[in-house]
Structure 1
Amino acid sequence: MLDHDVQEVGSPSPEAGGTTRLDTVNQQLAEAYPELSPQLKLAAGYVLEHPVEIAFQSIRKSAAAAEVTASTLVRLAKRLGFDSYEQFREVFQSAVQAGPVELSGRASQLRTLASQTDDQVFLDVGDAAFDNIGRLFTADNQARVRDAARLLLGAERIAVVGFRDTFACAYHFAYVGRIAMPNIQLIRGQEGGLLTELAPFGEGDVVVAFGFEPYCAETMRALEITRAAGVSAIVVTDTMRSPLVPGASITFNVANATPHFFPSILSAITLIEVLLAECVAFGPDGLVDNVAGFETRMRQMGAYVENG
């Protein structure tokens, strides 16, 4: 099946040294995905989910794995403004060479240390957990975290959205974040109150949205409302094909694989800790004062049990 001709989007913006950041390419793919032909969607989906394979496999092997022709991958590269598939693949090679930190390699060590046991579920969960965390700590994500922290620190108000399986993420971000930044508000959307809660947010504000497949209609609605009001969005999701991605200012694609029957939120929770730590580390002195003041008030109210 041949792809239909599509209009080329703007060329990816080059970084220093002439390289294009992988996250820029991923964002463009995510934005263009709904309008692609069926064959280009297959190719784009494979590219988004298999950056390592794209970096080092031959075009024919990648095409076979994606169940498309090699010419489809070439057309996809040109759809994004590249002159050739090789130029497109160089972006992935440059990004993948940095790779995740060594944490992901500890999963195999876990298997070796526990090889005398027969609890395979325990081992599989540990394997997935270490791998998910390792995929989070990349050079691209480090730069993205810094950009997100700047966006959060410059916001007048911050709305946090996450429903059902990601409500724990939203709650954790809002609870811990408010200790340092009182302008953070958890959006609950209970009893039809989503629109009312989001009404005060507009230009100069930021919404942080969490969503994994299956994606919640309430999260999509919250992003539609805030986007229409000019609110900048930081999205934490599981794939660049997620419907939460289009229109986002910054997107974090976190791994959530697990043998468990529910998607893992471990990477998302770790990302929250990194983001909030970055805000306190590089934000104004008042954020540290807020944390100290919170602890003092909690102790004065008897919120903590003294040990010894």
Structure 2
Amino acid sequence: MLKLRAAASALFLYFPGRPDSMTPSTDNPLTAEDHLSELSRRLADASPGLSPQLRQAAAYVLDHPGEVAFQSVRGSASAAGVTPSTLVRLAKKLGFGSYEPFRQVFQAALQEGSSELSGRATRLKQHSRTRANSVFGDIGDSALANVAALLTADNQTRVEAAAQRLLDARRIAAIGFRDTFTCAYHFAYVGRIAMPHIELIRGLEGGLLTELAPLGEGDLAVVFGFAPYCAETLRALEVVRRSGAGLIVVTDTLSSPLVPGADLVFNLASDTPHFFPSILAAITLIEAMLAECVARGPAELVDNVTRFEQRMRELGAYVE
């Protein structure tokens, strides 16, 4: 919610000529999508009077809101075929002081719209009726944008720090329920091949507390959760926070209820035309963290992978 409010405030601040409908109201507060719609309308209205370069940048922004939300200014400029300074000038042309508050309007709208599954499904159906380009293409565009938003220098530093914490931990619990169980399962299954002390927390048949009870100082929990946030995940987090174990959180926004008390947080883009939030960036992050563990960890991890593979072949797990 902090990011939504910041983006809304930015929009009010930088649109001095806004109509009365843009005035904040506690009785009927505008959503982040309302602000994005207003920004898009103003951008479309201004386009005919812009220079060719600014008009080209405006066309890209209007056609690719998901990419604009989560790409860097350089990434969006490259995709639009303009210079980064052109995008900055476009933002200032619309009354923003810099490019970042302009981009935050797009981020806020996409993150707000990702939490209601029924609304996402409705928009997906409307999309097929009103747009000429395919859903397949838009899925691809958003997937690439989500992964691109992950691959930053800051996140590289966090991945390296996460890998070191994983290597130092006595016991590792992978936690994620409902939609993010896939993430937790993938992390635990692949991770255990090299690091057998990773355990998948399933919470079946009321066993959640029993599975989490052994956690303590020196242990580590890796928790996955995206809006709408799962009640079971929050219950598990309460136990983890009281246990003294370390905590790595993978979520979709820094205002997520999973964030408090975390040692490391990865807030990932999950935008997609699909009715369910995308976990592609989370899966990519898992692969990066586990690869970093093997790359910087002891030779024993490679030996573990070798023994696992040999044992699977002996058991006939693979078909030649």
Do both proteins adopt the same fold according to a TM-score greater than 0.5, normalized to the shorter chain?
yes
Number of the residue aligned with 2:13: 60
- Distance in 1, matches of 2:80 and 2:287, equals 22
Number of the residue aligned with 1:139: 153
Decide which of 225, 228, 234 is 1:220's aligned counterpart. Answer: 234
Number of the residue aligned with 2:62: none
* Residues 104 and 134 in structure 1, CA contact (< 8 A), matched pair in contact too: no
Distance 1:149 1:100, change over 3 A: farther
Distance 1:66 1:237, change over 3 A: farther
Per-residue CA deviations over 1:189-226 (Å, capped at 9, x if unaligned) read 01110000001110000000000011011101111101
Say whether 1:232 aligns with 2:246: yes
Per-residue CA deviations over 1:39-84 (Å, capped at 9, x if unaligned) read xx65x5444xx6xx99xx899329999969xxxxxxxxxxxxxxxx
Number of the residue aligned with 1:253: 267
Query: How far did 1:123 drift?
Result: 1.2
Number of the residue aligned with 1:162: 176
Structure 2 residue runs of 5 or longer lacking an equivalent are 26-70, 82-130
* Residues 160 and 185 in structure 1, CA contact (< 8 A), matched pair in contact too: yes
Amino acid at match of 1:272: I
Decide which of 201, 222, 228 is 1:187's aligned counterpart. Answer: 201
CA RMSD of the aligned region, Å? 3.2
* Residues 208 and 235 in structure 1, CA contact (< 8 A), matched pair in contact too: yes
Decide which of 265, 276, 279 is 1:265's aligned counterpart. Answer: 279
Query: How far did 1:145 drift?
Result: 0.5
Higher CA-based Rg: 2
TM superposition outliers: structure 1 runs of 4+ over 2 Å: 44-47, 57-68, 98-108
- Distance in 1, matches of 2:305 and 2:208, equals 29
* Residues 169 and 268 in structure 1, CA contact (< 8 A), matched pair in contact too: yes
Say whether 1:275 aligns with 2:269: no
- Distance in 2, matches of 1:130 and 1:145, equals 19
* Residues 100 and 135 in structure 1, CA contact (< 8 A), matched pair in contact too: no
Normalised to the residue count of structure 2, the TM-score between the two structures is 0.63
Per-residue CA deviations over 1:99-119 (Å, capped at 9, x if unaligned) read 4896996799xxxxxxxx955
Query: How far did 1:157 drift?
Result: 0.2
Amino acid at match of 2:303: D
- Distance in 2, matches of 1:290 and 1:221, equals 33
Number of the residue aligned with 2:300: 286
Distance 1:61 1:193, change over 3 A: same
* Residues 180 and 280 in structure 1, CA contact (< 8 A), matched pair in contact too: yes
- Which structure features the higher share of helix residues? 2
Q: What is the 5 A alignment of 1:28-47? A: 44-47=3-6
Number of the residue aligned with 2:166: 152
Structure 1 residue runs of 5 or longer lacking an equivalent are 1-40, 69-97, 109-116
Amino acid at match of 1:280: V
Q: Identity of aligned pairs, percent? A: 60
Query: How far did 1:146 drift?
Result: 0.7
